[in-house]
Structure 1
Amino acid sequence: MPASARLRRTGVLASLVTLAAALSLAVPASASAAGTWTEIGSDRADPLTESQGLASIEVPAGSPNRYTGIGTIPIGDSIRGWNHVGDPDASYEGYYVEPYQEDSGNAKMFRVQAPDGSWSEYVHTLSPGEAMNNSWVAIAPDGQWMLSGEWGTMNRLLVFPTPGENSGTSPSANLPQAATVHLDHAVKDVQGCDFSGPTTLLCSSDDSDGSLFGMTRPLLRIDLSAAPGGSGDVDGHVTALRPLPLRSACSGTFEAEGIDYDRRSGILRVIVMSPSVCVLTDSKTYKFSLG
Structure 2
Amino acid sequence: MRHSTTAAKVLALSTAALLGCTGLASASPAASLGGWHRTGKTGVANAVSGEGITTLRRPGQAPETVYRNGTTIPQPLKDEGWGHVGDPDSQRGYVFDVYQNTVANPPVNKMYLVTAPSGETTEFVHPLQADEPPVNANAYAAVSPDGQWLVSGALGDATEMYVSPTPFLNPRAPRTAGDLPLAARIHLDHTIRSAQGCDFVSPTRLLCATSDSNNDLYPTSYQLLQVDLPRPLAGRDTRAHVKELGQLPLVSTCAGAFTPEGVDYDAPTGTLRVEVVPPSPCNTVTDVYSFQRG
Give the match's secondary structure for 1:276. Answer: coil
Aligned to 1:253: 257
- In terms of fraction of residues, the more strand-rich structure is 2
Alignment of 1:39 with 2:42, yes or no, is no
Q: Once the two structures are superposed, what CA deviation does each residue of 1:81-106 show, in whole Å capped at 9, x if it has no partner?
A: 10110000011x22210000022330
Output the CA distance in 1 between the equivalents of 2:234 and 2:166. Answer: 10
| Identical counterparts, % of pairs | 39
TM-score, with length taken from structure 2: 0.83
Aligned to 1:10: none
Unmatched runs of 5 consecutive residues or more in structure 2: 1-32
Q: 1:191 aligns with which of 174, 182, 196?
A: 196
Q: Is the 8 A contact 1:111 1:119 kept in 2?
A: yes
AA aligned to 1:239 is K
AA aligned to 2:149 is W
Q: 2:152 aligns with which of 142, 148, 151?
A: 148
Q: Is the 8 A contact 1:183 1:236 kept in 2?
A: yes
- Count of aligned residue pairs for this structure pair: 255
Alignment of 1:234 with 2:238, yes or no, is yes
C-alpha deviation, 1:170, in angstroms: 3.9
Q: Is the 8 A contact 1:45 1:273 kept in 2?
A: no
Output the CA distance in 1 between the equivalents of 2:101 and 2:246. Answer: 32
- In terms of fraction of residues, the more helix-rich structure is 1
Aligned to 1:287: 290
C-alpha deviation, 1:206, in angstroms: 1.0
Q: Is the 8 A contact 1:109 1:122 kept in 2?
A: yes
C-alpha deviation, 1:36, in angstroms: 1.4
Q: Is the 8 A contact 2:150 2:163 kept in 1?
A: yes
Output the CA distance in 2 between the equivalents of 1:81 and 1:45. Answer: 27
Aligned to 2:108: 106
Alignment of 1:94 with 2:97, yes or no, is no
Unmatched runs of 5 consecutive residues or more in structure 1: 1-33
C-alpha deviation, 1:35, in angstroms: 5.8
Alignment of 1:121 with 2:120, yes or no, is no
Output the CA distance in 2 between the equivalents of 1:172 and 1:149. Answer: 21
TM-score, with length taken from structure 1: 0.84
Q: Is the 8 A contact 1:95 1:165 kept in 2?
A: no
Give the match's secondary structure for 1:77. Answer: helix
Q: Once the two structures are superposed, what CA deviation does each residue of 1:254-287 show, in whole Å capped at 9, x if it has no partner?
A: 1010100111111110000011111014x30111
Task: Spell out the pairing of 1:1-291 with structure 2 (5 A cutoff).
Answer: 36-60=35-59, 61-91=61-91, 93-103=92-102, 104=104, 105-132=107-134, 133-167=137-171, 168-230=173-235, 232-281=236-285, 283-291=286-294
Output the CA distance in 2 between the equivalents of 1:81 and 1:173. Answer: 16
Q: Once the two structures are superposed, what CA deviation does each residue of 1:37-66 show, in whole Å capped at 9, x if it has no partner?
A: 121111113222111001012222413111
Q: Is the 8 A contact 1:108 1:126 kept in 2?
A: yes
